[in-house]
Amino acid sequence: MLLGAVDHVRVKGGDPRTFFGKLYGQEKNLTTASVARMNLLLHGMEDFIIERGDTLRNPIFTDASTGGLATFDCVIANPPFSLEQWGREIWENDPWGRAFAGLPTDSSGDFAWVQHMVKSMAETNGRMAVVLPQGALFRGGVEGQIRKYLLEHDWVETVIGLAPNLFYGTGLAACIMILRKKKSKERAGKVFIVDASSLFRKGRAQNYLDPEHGNQILEWTQKFEEEKDKARAVSLKEIKEEDWTLNISRYVLPSIGEDIPPLNMAFEDFKIALRRAREAESKLRKLMQEGGWLDD
């Protein structure tokens, strides 16, 4: 993801060297952390810090002057979905104050990641993007409580629903949740909700989000305008009336009925299809009998 940020700056005509000394990452898996360092070096990044460690149990980037976590202008993560036994016992007395909106259960660390990232955002210009399973948008209990807190503080800026089976190791439909400490005047009091579930290229074992799909999502998000059946800005008042759920289908719903024929026509089509299926079955049975593969 850090490399993706570097490439984005390069594509937009910027100088990736402006990132020197400003790229930080923490990864629990030794191999993944090593690969991240190698990739950054191979792409011309010479000054960065990638540390190995358990982010939820032992965050490495802290600020001695404040006694809290180090903060950054931009925080991004693609954490493991609904991680079990993520370190709740430590968060019961978390020295970094990361359970500020609620303490997630042992069965899912989704909102532990979110709260860690919120604590890692700079107060003035902080923003974050996190990939989560779509269940995080509507599950109740303590997760609903945390989601409500984030919405009431007007930190949730955009929610993007993605197609299923895009990520290695899970067929679940994911979403991207974008939060910002201080929204622009235009976006204050609203959440921009995007249904991008139709944007993917189907593969044999996995689906793919191609660059043109990402560009389309980016265009909708930057325009912040209603796109029929795809995207719209939803007020916090409406979200409150929906009991603080961010379930995408509550707000952005593809139109139905336009391609549905009248009942009498649908019934006639059904009878024709049924007759053809029976004719095909009868023909197949006859061929199998003639070939000796089926007894009379």
pLDDT band at 180 (very low <50, low <70, confident <90, very high): very high
| Residue 279 domain boundaries | 261-296
Residue 19 placed within a domain = no
Same domain, 143 and 70: yes
Mean pLDDT to the nearest integer, 15-33: 91
Question: Do 174 and 79 lie in a common domain?
Answer: yes
178: pLDDT strictly greater than 70: yes
Residue range 32-50, pLDDT digits in tens = 999 999 999 998 888 999 9
Please determine, for residue 260, whether its predicted confidence score (pLDDT) is greater than 70: no
115 and 67 share a domain? yes
The CATH code of the domain that includes 178 is 3.40.50.150
First to last CA, the chain: 64
Distance separating alpha carbons of residues 189 and 217, to the nearest angstrom: 21
Say what percent of the chain tops pLDDT 90: 72
Whether residues 271 and 144 share a domain: the answer is: no
Residue 48 lies in a domain: no
Do both 175 and 271 map to the same domain? no
Query: Could you report the per-residue pLDDT of 116-145, keeping only the tens digit for each?
Result: 999 999 998 999 999 999 999 999 999 999
Same domain, 137 and 273: no
pLDDT of 255: 57
User: How many folded domains does the chain comprise?
Assistant: 2
**DSSP letter for each residue of 237-283:** HHHHHTTT---GGGT-----STTPPPHHHHHHHHHHHHHHHHHHHHH
- Looking at the structure, tell me whether residues 244 and 284 fall in a common domain: no
Note whether 293 and 202 are same-domain residues.
no
Same domain assignment for residues 142 and 101? yes
